[in-house]
């Protein structure tokens, strides 16, 4: 089932009007938090307190707003995730917001659901990515000349060499479920070292660890 919450459309900051999705398959729920900020999370938390039949509790949380500092701990506690995924990692210095913030990661650890010996998980896509250093490079540069041709720039006008990296792993966090068993895994640049976790969720929301067989 899919439930959409068109959350409190507001003027100004568009993050306050983001759409939140809670998807449920069997015993397992996912909450996709969009770009919720502290104000909208507090309003949503207040709504849930006034409407006990509603819930945003979920086993897997796509953390709102890329792990911004602009969050409400009460909202995280109401979700009580077992798996949290922060999507972050800017490729442009002009778009860097230092996500995820350290206080958000700490708050996720505090709000995460603990079930018996099963340990909650927090993933960050930029930590799951992998780059290989390729050395110093100087791109070939030209200028347009009469007739539409290209002429190579003289060495004195070339940009300085810079460090080049090749992205080998994009940092995807994969969550698969049949409605009871959940498998969460990330890629690796190593053929012998992999990271994957499995657990089961029963009808009451109790979580138990499961085994992962690497082939």
**pLDDT tens-digit readout, 114-151:** 888 889 999 998 888 888 899 998 877 777 887 778 88
Instruction: List phi, psi (to 5°) of 79.
Output: -75, -40
pLDDT tier, 207 (very low <50, low <70, confident <90, very high otherwise): very high
Instruction: State residue 149's pLDDT score.
Output: 80
Question: Among 151, 210, 150, which residue's Cα sits nearest to residue 178?
Answer: 210
pLDDT at residue number 6: 44
Reported as a single tens digit per residue, the pLDDT across 63-111 is 998 878 888 999 999 999 999 999 887 666 666 666 688 899 999 999 9
Query: Residue 86: which H helix or E strand, with range?
Result: strand 83-86
- 53 conformational bin, left if phi > 0, alpha if psi -120 to 50, beta if neither: alpha
138-189 tens-digit pLDDT: 877 777 887 778 888 777 777 888 899 888 888 899 999 999 999 999 988 7
Contacts of 49 (CB under 8 A, 6+ apart): none
pLDDT at residue 13 in the model: 64
Section 52-70 average pLDDT:
89
Residue 47 has pLDDT above 60, yes or no: yes
């041709």: which residue's tokens?
Answer: 149
What are 185's strand-pairing partners? 174, 196
| Mean pLDDT confidence for 194-214 | 91
What pLDDT, on the 0 to 100 scale, is given for residue 89? 72
Q: How far apart are CA 66 and CA 36, in angstroms?
A: 10
Question: 125 with 88: CB under 8 angstroms?
Answer: yes
Which has more pLDDT, 6 or 90? Answer: 90
């Amino acid at each position: 089932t899919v439930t959409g919450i068109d959350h409190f459309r507001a003027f100004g900051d568009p993050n306050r009007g983001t759409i939140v999705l809670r998807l449920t398959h069997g015993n397992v729920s996912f909450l996709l938090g969009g770009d919720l900020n502290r104000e909208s999370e507090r309003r949503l938390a207040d709504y849930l307190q006034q409407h006990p039949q509603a819930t945003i509790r979920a086993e897997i949380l796509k953390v709102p707003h890329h792990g911004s500092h602009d969050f409400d701990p009460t909202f995280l506690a109401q979700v009580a995730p077992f798996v949290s995924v922060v999507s972050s990692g800017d490729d442009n210095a002009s778009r860097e917001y230092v996500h995820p913030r350290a206080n958000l990661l700490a708050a996720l650890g505090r709000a995460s659901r603990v079930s018996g010996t099963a340990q909650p998980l927090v993933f960050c896509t930029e930590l799951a990515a992998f780059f290989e250093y390729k050395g110093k490079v100087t791109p070939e540069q030209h200028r347009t000349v009469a007739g539409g041709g290209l002429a190579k720039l003289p060495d004195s006008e070339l940009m300085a060499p810079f460090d080049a990296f090749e992205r080998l792993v994009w940092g995807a966090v994969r969550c698969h479920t049949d409605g009871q068993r959940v498998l969460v895994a990330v890629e690796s640049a190593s053929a012998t070292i992999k990271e994957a976790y499995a657990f089961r969720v029963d009808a009451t929301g109790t979580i138990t660890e499961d085994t992962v067989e690497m082939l």
